[in-house]
Amino acid sequence: MRPPRRNQWLLLLAVVTTVTLILLDVRGSDGPLRRVSHAIISPFQSVAQTVARPFRGIATSISDLSSMRERNKQLASQNDRLRAQVNRSVDEHRRLAEIQDMLDLAGRGGYAVVSAHVVAWPAGQDNAAAVGIDVGSADGVRPGMSVVTGRGLVGSTVTVTKHAATVRLITDSQAHVGVRVAGSGRVGMTSGVASGVDMNVQLFAAGLLRRNDIVVTRGSLQGVPYVPGLPVGRITAVTGVAGELPRGRVKPFVDLGALDVVAVVVRPPKADPRDALIPTPRPTPTVTVTVTASPSISPSPVAGG
């Protein structure tokens, strides 16, 4: 066993050596003692650095991972905001286009209109039969007024409060619209069906009814509930039989299941616009493929062949 006194001397030597090294480091000495001390300590420093390096890498990786997660959260939040802005922009653009179409129809037909938004499907009624809008008597709206979009007839107001109204759609089973076949002038009436998607039509006199014929409103007395000249829909099927008055099915021009912006006709036109408001078919985009022939390469003749 090592004597205690020897341990004390070794401890004292270590302290002195440490102090000496500190002084040498402060003074910038580069003498033999410093070089010897450096030679002794360097292996231990190298081992310590080697052992510590992975831990420093792990600490750096953890810090980087935390920063990346925070950055990802920020980017996700920015993406959500940008997506919401794009959706709002697209929605506003669509609404502006619909309002422009309605104003164009009203201007060509000579109608005075009040724009409105569809805000509710009235409780207790068939969703396909009636909708609620956000204008009422304070805006000049009364029961029995035509409601339109830029594509044509939607329905008519049935109940009105100061700031709201209920619109009965033309597909409602209780809705009956006097119509005229564009071009021929034959008159008849449409009525809603249980499906709430299309309507029946029956002419009042014998005559030819064909698929793709277009019907418009013929107009009610004093324009209540329907003003004249509004596009209603297109004949999709003829269901009458020989000896009976012509009958058929009508598909509305307006998509009644996707109503948003509408207009209430608060004053009828001075003259019947007749067939002037029939919507033109919306163009279908076509894809043109151009094929360019590449020159063929003929094999060179082989000498002596």
**pLDDT tens, position by position, 56-74:** 666 666 777 777 777 777 7
Q: Which amino acid is at 9?
A: W
Average pLDDT over residues 31-43: 57
182: pLDDT strictly greater than 90: yes
Q: Please give the pLDDT value at position 89.
A: 66
Report the chain's C-alpha Rg in angstroms.
43
* Closest alpha carbon to 223 in 301, 117, 151, 148: 148
Fold of 112-267: Thrombin, subunit H (2.40.10)
Residue 137's pLDDT band, with cuts at 50, 70 and 90, is very high
For the chain, domain boundaries: 112-267
Residues 6+ apart with CB under 8 A from 288: none
Pairwise CA distance, residues 182 & 248, whole Å: 15
Element of type H or E holding 158: strand 152-160
Pairwise CA distance, residues 167 & 142, whole Å: 11
Element of type H or E holding 264: strand 261-267
Q: Among 94-98, 125-129, 179-183, which stretch is predicted with the lowest mean pLDDT?
A: 125-129
Pairwise CA distance, residues 170 & 193, whole Å: 10
Opening angle at CA 229, ends 118 and 117, nearest 5: 10
* Average pLDDT taken over every residue of the chain: 78
Pairwise CA distance, residues 173 & 169, whole Å: 9
